Amino acid sequence: MSKSDDQKSPLLESTSSEPKQGPNHIMISPKFPPTVDMIELISKKTPDGRIPARAPNAFIIYRKVYVETAREHGYYLPMTIVSSMTLQSWESADETVKAEYRRIAKEALRVRIEMYSESGRRKKNKQNQSAIQKNLTSGKTLLELTEFIEKKLKELNVRMFNYLHFRELKLIGSGGYANVYSAKFYRKQYALKSLRNTLRLEHKEVMSLIHELKILREVSHPNIIKFYGVYKDPHTHNFMLILQLANGGTLRNYLESKWKDGKFEIPWINLNSFAIEITCGLRFLHEKKICHRDLHSNNILINDGKILISDFGISKKMDSTTQTSSVKGLPAYVEPRYYLYPDEKIKHDEKSDIYSLGVVFWELTSGTPPFSDSSNHAIIIKISQGKRETIIPGTPIDYAKLYMRCWDSEPEKRPTLEEILTELKRLSKEITILSVVNTNNYVNANY
């Protein structure tokens, strides 16, 4: 909606004789079943002229129909009001309504894949050619780029391995700018984190790699993933970080595996042990003056039943310059200050990581990511409003009190890692329950 539209059509008072509810006393029920133009839905551009990188989820489609319904009734709502009202309406909607919107979202994804698979391949080829041309015109050849990285590795005293010694490479994961493989080196399994295309790397991505190597060189702890060195593939020129292989996968995968027949169950002794080990690893990082900044269940690994904290791509040293105005990490694990004060530079410190730690502690009891039934946009609104996930019935009350202190909106009210460890160790001796059980199965919900 343009600014002129807002001026010409002011927000009207509802003329309905029914009870007035929600922000500004307006009650709107999106039409059902919804009528959606699928092509328009998946190809509509953003205000800056871009086509969204993914198909809209159920909540986004619901919001679109909500706004259209409001306009049909003469309401032209500012986005600040739309966000709050739509979220309230979605949360109170019948499950049949939500299911229909999830069905539409799945169909939108299918159509989008068909529409953009071919155009996507053409675009990627064009980007590759553009990147090559950019490197050539700026004088940064592939040889110079790899030499720059190799020079940095030598400065960090990083061991270089011969790629011919690695066998049986198997893709086991994929991230923002890297793939992760398992591979065998003299009868032992390792994890290889590979940059996808060195030639196309931007300077910030190269420096992110170097930065992660620097962090990994400084840490050695039983609950931090081990770093062994680097090798370069002579054919692709991709650099690979050689890391400890976590045979148990991610904590997220582990928790998902504990769902059976609509019920999640985790032994208390395992839950408490995981919580202690995550805290110990994080305490070690903080002792080294390192903030993780992206702590969540997919960056926590399990090896032989023991916790390993991983992925230090956006970690930072804690000093007077560690400030940012941009949000780092998954929305549900990021403390509220970044959302409440978006225009201010906020220092990410120990208390920021402790907020994320509290969310992970809750996830250990639920078996599902926080706010898994909401879009990222809805999650940000909820957290900004002070909302947190509810306690899973049967959770030891002192454990729940601990993680709620960790995710307090006021950083100074959050406990220190020493206090957290002391409390967890006390609970390990005093709590006698066998397991924590959750029957609210959101794990396979498609929102």
Query: Residues within the annotated binding site for ATP?
Result: 193
The angle that helices 397-406 and 417-430 make with each other, rounded to 10 degrees, is 170
Q: Tell me, what amino acid is at 435?
A: S
Local structure of 100: helix, strand or coil: helix
440/361 Cα distance (integer angstroms): 17
User: Please, which residues have CB within 8 angstroms of residue 283's CB and are 6 or more apart in sequence?
Assistant: 417, 418, 421
**Greatest CA separation for the chain:** 78
351/107 Cα distance (integer angstroms): 42
Instruction: Give which of 40, 54, 61, 67 is closest to 104, Cα–Cα.
Output: 61
User: Please, which residues have CB within 8 angstroms of residue 43's CB and are 6 or more apart in sequence?
Assistant: 51, 115
**Token digits of residue 233:** 């593939």
User: Please, which residues have CB within 8 angstroms of residue 249's CB and are 6 or more apart in sequence?
Assistant: 301, 302
Instruction: Give which of 64, 90, 217, 197 is closest to 152, Cα–Cα.
Output: 217
Q: What share of the chain is helix, strand, coil (3-state, %, to 5)?
A: 45, 15, 40
**Token digits of residue 48:** 């800056």
Q: Where are the beta strands (DSSP E) in 245-321?
A: 259-260, 263-267, 290-291, 300-303, 306-309, 316-317
Dihedral (C-alpha) 57, 63, 68, 71: value to the nearest 10 degrees?
A: -170
- Tell me the DSSP string of 240-258: EEEEE--TT-BHHHHHHHT
- Tell me the DSSP string of 399-427: HHHHHHHHT-SSGGGSPPHHHHHHHHHHH
> Cα separations (Å) of 322 from 143, 204, 346?
33, 17, 8
H or E segment to which residue 226 belongs: none
Local structure of 8: helix, strand or coil: helix
**Token digits of residue 74:** 């003469």
Q: Which segments are annotated as binding site?
A: 193
Q: Where on the phi/psi map is residue 229: left (φ > 0), alpha (ψ -120 to 50), or beta? A: left
